[in-house]
Structure 1
Amino acid sequence: MATNIDEPVLTVDHLDLMPDDGNRYELLEGEIYVSRAPGLTHQRVIGNIYLTLRLYLETTPIGEVLSTPGVIFDQFNGVIPDLVFISNELKDRIGTGEKITEAPELMIEIVSPGKENAERDRLVKRRVYAKHGVKEYWVADPEARTLEIYRLKHRSLALVATLAGKDEITTPLLPGFACTVNQIFNS
């Protein structure tokens, strides 16, 4: 009789055992993913989106935008997204801890070069984020200079738009917010 032995599943406790070596360690469905520190283009796009959202939130104080926070969904899923938006209501619920322990309303990833990174952001993370109730997910691709917007529909994050150039980015999560795709990719 054959015995099927599954690979050991890792938990978020294992993330604390990872070396402090400048890499980004994330856990998705019990599997560890390691990414190098983001490159300059990646950082510039993060900065542009952060600044645009921050300026909006100064005049419309409905929440806050955070860069590379730890988000722990459950014991098998812990990520470090590039940016998140959390509403004031969610901020009050999660308190003053160092990690976000509920699904942010909006999560944003900037695709790093490489097929594996693109697949992780567009497939694996999207599936995990949907499973845990993220309402909206943006995937910015600096190489293609596009922004994909996914919205939660029937427990799945469905692609609702792929924007480029002068296309305007809007979301029901941020009433009155608008910027162009060019604004987030210009350095």
Structure 2
Amino acid sequence: MAQTVLAAAIPGGGPVLELGAGTGPVTKALIDAGCPPDQIIVVEQDRDLCRTLERRLTGVRVLQGNALAMGDIRQRAQIRSVSVVLSGLPMRIIAPVAAARCYTAAFALMPPGGSIIQYTYGFRSPVDAEEMPELQATFVGRELRNVPPMGIWSYRLTRGLVNGHARSGEWTRRTAPGAAPAP
């Protein structure tokens, strides 16, 4: 998984951003794969987990906050750009509107062509294609060494967007000239 994240990173785009770091095993794998700790920002909601991450992963920037409110975190932490986003958020149980807002904010942090690498413990894409048709989902593979095994998905914005995404933070479907906008 760490190799997938590092391969998707846009050179010069900024640090790696990890959403939902938990106790940090994936973050540690990124470091072990060669990502310098000072080039990793993690967002974790739980205060105790943040303290654990700070102790275990010296040099990693740990931000406490709700990753679904990425726009607020971006402003507070003054994050200008990231090279790739890694998400361990349980997207299957997150309301589609909240998931779309989170992904929109994540894509706004990356240069064009950026990727969100999402892992899941299920067998299908954790992001609903009908709710976010602007995403190109690619199944990367399964990490069988993890218990339980995790599926790895890569998401990129398709070309069917108008200016990438709406300013409001909601997805914008491209419509034909003269057609009514999508709901």
| Greater length-normalized contact order (CA 8 Å, ≥ 6 residues apart) | 2
Higher strand content, 1 or 2? 1
TM-score range, shorter chain: 0.3 to 0.5
